[in-house]
């Protein structure tokens, strides 16, 4: 029954008009099945496995008269296809009493595979629910990350809400970081909805309990705010530093409104919704309200000894495999909260979390060569995959593991721990 509480708040509208209170309602459930949903929770389940169970129990327990449809995205095309159209209606609208079995079966068959086309999914879901005659209509989006396609879901949600006054969009962030959370919050905010957060299995249970006592009538209240004269609206980036440049563009038309220098860390902007550029991607859905400062707290990546690794490091998005930073010498660098794959040569530290307000320390192992006769030598993994080359001028930083170095006709096995340096002396 705890899982039922997950979306209980979504379906518990408090309506003043008794006629509307008796009317039926229609709900679209949109589930993220992108590649990142393969990440594991503390209890060992993947995020997608936990979500499948939640969908099945929701369908089994909820009011049988509610008309429910079920969409998923990211489940059809593998990541390398970069498919921004990968979203599908799995079960069409019908009273839950008649389609709950089909919904559970379709959920259990999902595999987490590809991209995160949130905008397209919301747009198609809104089109489908607009044909419903129910007095209450809601889209419920469950996601564990940001939009990965060239679209802005917050701007799309704002347009969707403007076109249908009876529709609300609620968002649930499942194991999300600061940047993904802000985008999901923006979607809900502009579409008369609510945002709910869960970082792990225990957190999900806590949020579900809170959701059961939340009244949707609170969404219809009004607060009058008087903005003090000469109080500007700002974007403030915390933890950045001199030398960093963060371009700020309007989310609706891409027009540049500011370039925040790391030495200053903030800029005045008109109220609106913005995208802010970082070295490892775009922080989308940054909502700035009149007379308020929106804080973006970023994280730091520190690579132990990285200043000496002149071959540099490449950072990529672990979900899309898009290269974000290529062959850059990194000692410490400010990054948008996210997960990144860090590569040295052809080997990688996969899906390293960059958390807001924290420093993530990477401690590479290294292979070095010394000696007057030392040349350039090939290094492979223990199963023969090429890693890179090492010489007197270039050391080779690698993740912990077992490697093979071909040195002057000899094949040497090198076992490395985190932070360890192994020197090969050539006499």
DSSP 299-337: EEEEETTGGG-TT-EEEE-TTT--EEEEEE--SEEEE-S
Instruction: Please calculate the CA angle 394-340-377 and round it to the nearest 5 degrees.
Output: 20
Average pLDDT over residues 231-244: 91
pLDDT tens figures, 58-100: 788 778 888 999 999 999 998 888 899 999 999 999 999 999 9
Cα 376 to chain center, whole Å?
41
- Quick check: 154 and 187 in contact, CB under 8 A? yes
Q: The tokens of 413 are what?
A: 């096995």
Counting residues of the chain whose pLDDT is more than 70, the rounded percentage is 88
β-bridge mates for residue 411, sequence order: 406
Contacts 24+ apart (CB under 8 A), 318-323: 318/35, 318/36, 318/350, 318/351, 319/34, 319/35, 319/36, 319/79, 319/115, 319/116, 319/145, 319/148, 320/79, 320/82, 320/115, 320/148, 321/79, 321/80
pLDDT tens figures, 122-163: 999 999 999 998 888 889 899 999 999 988 999 999 999 999
Kindly report the backbone phi and psi dihedral angles of residue 267, in degrees, each rounded to the nearest multiple of 5, phi listed first.
-155, 145
Q: The tokens of 276 are what?
A: 């802010």
Could you tell me the pLDDT band of residue 221, with boundaries at 50, 70 and 90? very low
Element (H, E) at 274: strand 272-278
Residue 70 and residue 92: Cα distance in Å, rounded?
A: 7
pTM listed for this prediction: 0.83
Q: For position 134, what pLDDT does the model report?
A: 86
């Amino acid at each position: 029954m705890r899982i039922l509480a997950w979306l209980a708040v979504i379906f518990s509208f408090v309506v003043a008009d008794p006629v509307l209170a008796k009317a039926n309602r229609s709900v679209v459930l949109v589930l993220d099945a992108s590649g990142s949903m393969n990440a594991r929770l503390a209890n060992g389940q993947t995020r997608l496995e936990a979500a499948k169970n939640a969908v099945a129990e929701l369908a089994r327990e909820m009011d049988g008269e509610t008309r429910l449809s079920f969409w998923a995205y990211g489940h059809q095309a593998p990541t390398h296809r970069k498919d921004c159209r990968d979203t599908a209606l799995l079960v069409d609208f019908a009273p839950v009493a008649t389609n709950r079995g089909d919904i559970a079966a379709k959920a259990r068959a999902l595999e987490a595979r590809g991209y995160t086309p949130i905008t397209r999914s919301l747009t198609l879901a809104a089109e489908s629910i607009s044909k419903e005659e129910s007095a209450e209509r809601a889209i419920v989006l469950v996601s564990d990350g940001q939009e990965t396609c060239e679209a802005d879901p917050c701007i799309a949600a704002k347009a969707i809400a403007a076109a249908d006054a009876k529709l609300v969009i609620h968002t649930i962030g499942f194991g999300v970081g600061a940047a993904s959370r802000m985008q999901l919050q923006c979607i809900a905010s502009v579409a008369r909805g609510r945002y709910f957060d869960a970082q792990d299995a225990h957190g999900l249970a806590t949020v579900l309990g809170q959701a059961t006592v939340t009244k949707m009538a609170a969404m219809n209240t009004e607060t009058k705010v008087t903005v003090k004269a000469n109080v500007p609206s700002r974007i403030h980036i915390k933890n950045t530093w001199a030398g960093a440049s963060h371009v700020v563009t309007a989310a609706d038309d891409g027009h540049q409104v500011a370039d925040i220098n790391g030495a200053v860390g903030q800029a005045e902007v008109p109220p609106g919704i913005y995208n802010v550029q970082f070295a490892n991607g775009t922080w989308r859905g940054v909502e700035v309200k009149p007379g308020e400062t929106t804080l973006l707290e970023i994280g730091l990546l520190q690579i132990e000894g990285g200043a000496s690794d002149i071959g540099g490091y490449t950072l990529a998005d672990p979900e899309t495999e898009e290269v974000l930073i290529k062959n850059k010498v990194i000692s410490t660098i400010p990054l948008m909260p996210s997960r990144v794959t860090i590569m040295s040569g052809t080997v990688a530290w996969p899906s390293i979390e960059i958390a807001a307000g924290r420093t993530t320390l990477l401690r590479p192992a290294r292979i070095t060569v010394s000696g007057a006769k030392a040349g350039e030598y090939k290094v492979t993994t223990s199963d023969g995959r090429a890693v890179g080359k090492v010489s007197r001028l270039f050391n080779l930083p690698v993740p912990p593991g077992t490697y093979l170095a071909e040195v002057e006709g000899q094949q040497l096995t090198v076992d490395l721990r985190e932070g360890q340096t192994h020197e090969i002396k050539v006499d």
